A and B are shown apart, each in its own frame.
Chain A
């Protein structure tokens, strides 16, 4: 296979179906950012450690820098742009980040949000230690993680109240 080979793929991103011809060698992250223009998904290391590029693939967290775009063919992707319920409202997780100073520069934030969205779905009532383990694969250089952990615990409460 040549590096310049192309394939046509269909990926649903944040509920919208996109059919595009893409070079086979581009990553899912590059597809999301440069082909679809959804630049909220960030690239921090491009080797799968920092977690900034984390998206949800069929509801499960995945490093979009370690996947090829063609591997997402036929799948559903959720990026940070798809988390808020609407243009004027934030998801309780986003509100909790804002209210608990869970972000500073905001560069790792998209990956933190997607990772925690999956985690809080699986574990709606986590302990602090469980939160710390859940985001231990997402690097943040600004916060010392404290605001993020507080935000996640606060979000769990808000989301629980929302369901009640």
Chain B
């Protein structure tokens, strides 16, 4: 039966999350008052690489208020193994280097947890840290991924035979033949840095141990509660029914909160040992040195094109800084390598990817997950092709673009699971056309010339992207109408500020015709639903959205069927409206959802109406076997000052296609936020280390985040090409804005300084680097 009334899908609806957050009544991890909790502080490695010989904690243990100082040896008896079992397999991995809960006999990065102090307060715990003596023999550190793979380089870990932790090739087509017939070959090397997640809320964990139920409840601001539980069950060797992981309100995720960090095992293990509730809230310095993030990739590339600028082939090497262990598989460089092709036809391609172990905090995805780097490489090379061939930057893209008539477009790339990477839908040329129009591309040369006369250097940049979204294999949702009439949605999806709950409520309201206030969403709680994943890969509208939508449809059908029995009416004559099933056109002849739910909750000894199954509820695990690709075009107008090297962004336009839109307000917010993240990665954010592996940028005075006066107004224009891959036709949107930003901004800066012949390869583009590029060009 079709829904009654106008659809809510596509409508701007205010969010259900906002009320408490605006009043200061959010419940973030550090806001939870855990009765009797002791506080934890971690002693962290002061060196990038060293042999750990002894930990003398006698003075720390003697400090009043300290309950325990624990090392690896103390925690090991409650663990099933030495290392934290990760379950993200890949054939590319040469050595399994799962993280360790606390350093055992070797430290491998500055910030690695070595010991934990448990005390009455965090203040006392930190006082005690200063009283612990570490006996360490410092070892040579690997602080550059390219140098780390050279013959004779020191080893980043003593337990690995070399630093090449993983390797993989993407290889299709006759690459040598392509280069042999090329009219032009363009070589370029890129050193691309991308920084951390930097959610304004740091990580945090609180563990409650219940001696009556013999259970362990872990409150953690994780993006993946179900995965965290799975790891804890394996690492602690205790039954699934005894562990619950629940994520409270979470102050931003952006990737790092998806990886399972050592602290997430250390606290539950210590709670089991001490039989006390524990709490640890990461401080910002810890977040800089110990939270995973992205770092460096070195791309050495060559492109072959014909005389008209059409790509014939691309080949090269990607060296990826992996950090000191593997907390989250090896997706990062692979995403970068596969996303290179973007919305273009690339007939031949060979990329050799080498993952190098280094003595830095491990790398794991932040928003964009390697794709911005891949897209940057392609887009910068296309600008270089345009220059070489003598055609416009928009024209070179047009000539290489996948046409809408080619959809679905099977790329020649095989994915992790062996399937073919296939773009499902979209109109890439039209997307670029709309962006050029909105950005005033055709008129820009005149504006640029006028600005130049006034002594200003302005430029317009262009970049396209695609993003694989909605990663499966599935997401779970349950929807139940209680006898009170209140509707509870449970899902494995999790929420860090994306408006996930609002999105799910909107979809359920659309089907059930109820008010948003009558629905509660329990997301990110392993006690709410048995299976699930959570937030990564721009996936939750696709996976959880469709799951909730289908569950709501099943509940609607059941409500109508049951009401038909109760009212002795025909289901065809009934409709669901305003929280009740009513006879069409006769609103007073109705049964409310509460009445229906009550009727099929059952009474002992009486049959359910019409023999329906118990409970006004449905559970759906929505399968998402294939990824759906969103796409877009960014246009950036920038001004560069050749005297100071400063870059200012004047205008920013995004034409974005994430399929059918559920709530345009939320999608706009996701896109603008992601663009800001991309602006930071391009112009400001640089996590620096010295040659010994000591972090140099551990405050927001040294590591610069984009601010309200450096992010320009961002104009978002939507296209909607529904995907055929799911019933709602939706694609993901949350990361895509980050992907094209570096390429678009750098294209604009090169355009602004065209008269200098500036070539920009490396990221971030700091004023010093831009000045150096100007000097190199001159």
Chain A interface (Cβ < 8 Å from any Cβ of B): 3, 23, 25-26, 33, 37-47, 49-50, 52, 79-81, 83-84, 90, 94, 97-99, 101, 103-110, 113, 128, 131-133, 135-149
Contacts and interface: CB of A to CB of B under 8 A. Distances in A.
25 contacts: A37-B33, A39-B31, A40-B26, A42-B251, A43-B30, A47-B701, A80-B24, A81-B23, A81-B24, A81-B25, A83-B23, A94-B23, A98-B15, A104-B498, A104-B673, A105-B251, A106-B18, A106-B26, A107-B251, A107-B497, A109-B22, A113-B22, A136-B708, A145-B711, A147-B672
Interface residues of B, number: 56
Contacts of A41: 24
- 6 nearest interchain CB pairs? A40-B24, A105-B497, A107-B251, A106-B21, A144-B676, A144-B672
Contacts of B713: 128, 146, 149
B430 interface: no
A138 to B, nearest CB: 7
B734 to A, nearest CB: 10
B22 A103 contact: yes
Nearest to A51: B200
A103 B251 CA distance: 11
Interface in B518-546: none
A141 B700 CA distance: 13
B250 A105 contact: yes
A148 B18 contact: no
B249 A106 contact: yes
Contacts of A47: 284, 699-701
B138 interface: no
B677 interface: yes
Contact of B284 (A44, A103, A108): A44
A142 B699 contact: no
B708 A148 contact: yes
A38 B23 CA distance: 11
B669 A107 contact: no
Nearest to A94: B22
A109 B496 CA distance: 14
Nearest to B251: A107
A58 to B, nearest CB: 20
Interface in B221-257: 249-252, 254
A79 B24 CA distance: 8
Contact of A145 (B197, B249, B708): B708
A39 B22 CA distance: 12
B676 A147 contact: no
A33 B28 CA distance: 12
Given A44-B200, A145-B711, A101 B673 contact: no
A144 B668 CA distance: 10
A106 B251 contact: yes
B773 interface: no
> In this complex, which of B202, B283, B669 has the most chain A Cβ atoms within 10 angstroms of its Cβ?
B669
B94 interface: no
A29 B49 CA distance: 36
Nearest to B702: A49
Contacts of B33: 37
Given A81-B23, A104-B497, A110-B24, A139 B18 contact: no
Given A47-B284, A104-B499, A138 B24 contact: no
A49 B702 CA distance: 11
A44 B499 CA distance: 21
Interface in B665-713: 665-666, 668-669, 672-677, 699-701, 705-709, 711, 713
Contact of A141 (B127, B252, B284): B252
Contacts of B699: 45, 47, 49
Nearest to A104: B497
A20 B705 CA distance: 37
B61 to A, nearest CB: 18
A91 to B, nearest CB: 9
B676 to A, nearest CB: 4
B707 A139 contact: yes
Contacts of B497: 104-107, 142
Given A46-B283, A98-B22, A145 B676 contact: yes
Nearest to B197: A141
A41 B713 CA distance: 28
B673 A143 contact: yes
A108 B674 CA distance: 17
B669 A50 contact: no
A38 B127 CA distance: 26
B199 A141 contact: yes
Nearest to A52: B200
Contact of A106 (B17, B197, B676, B705): B17
A49 B700 contact: yes
Given A50-B700, A139-B707, A105 B496 contact: yes
B14 interface: yes
A83 to B, nearest CB: 8
Contacts of B675: 144
A107 B28 contact: yes
B669 A142 contact: yes
B468 to A, nearest CB: 22
A146 B18 contact: no
A39 B23 contact: no
Contacts of A40: 23-26
B21 A103 contact: yes
A23 B737 CA distance: 46
Contacts of B26: 40, 106-107
Contacts of A133: 708-709
B11 interface: no
A108 B200 contact: yes
Contacts of B706: 144
Given A98-B18, A104-B673, A105-B201, 5 more contacts: A3-B123, A79-B24, A106-B251, A107-B199, A147-B669
Given A43-B30, A107-B252, A101 B15 contact: yes
A33 B127 CA distance: 21
Contact of B24 (A39, A43, A140, A143): A39
B284 A46 contact: yes
Nearest to A87: B23
A84 to B, nearest CB: 6
Given A47-B284, A98-B14, A107-B251, A142 B25 contact: no
Nearest to B699: A47
B714 interface: yes
B14 to A, nearest CB: 6
A43 B675 CA distance: 25
| Centre residue among A79, A94, A113, A146 by max chain B CB count within 10 A | A146
Nearest to B710: A136
A9 B534 CA distance: 45
Given A25-B123, A104-B499, A105-B201, A141 B677 contact: yes
A110 B21 CA distance: 8
Given A49-B700, A105-B201, A139-B200, A38 B24 contact: yes
A81 B254 CA distance: 27
A131 B711 CA distance: 13
A83 B202 CA distance: 25
Interface string B265-289: 0000000000000000001100000
A33 B31 CA distance: 8
B198 interface: yes
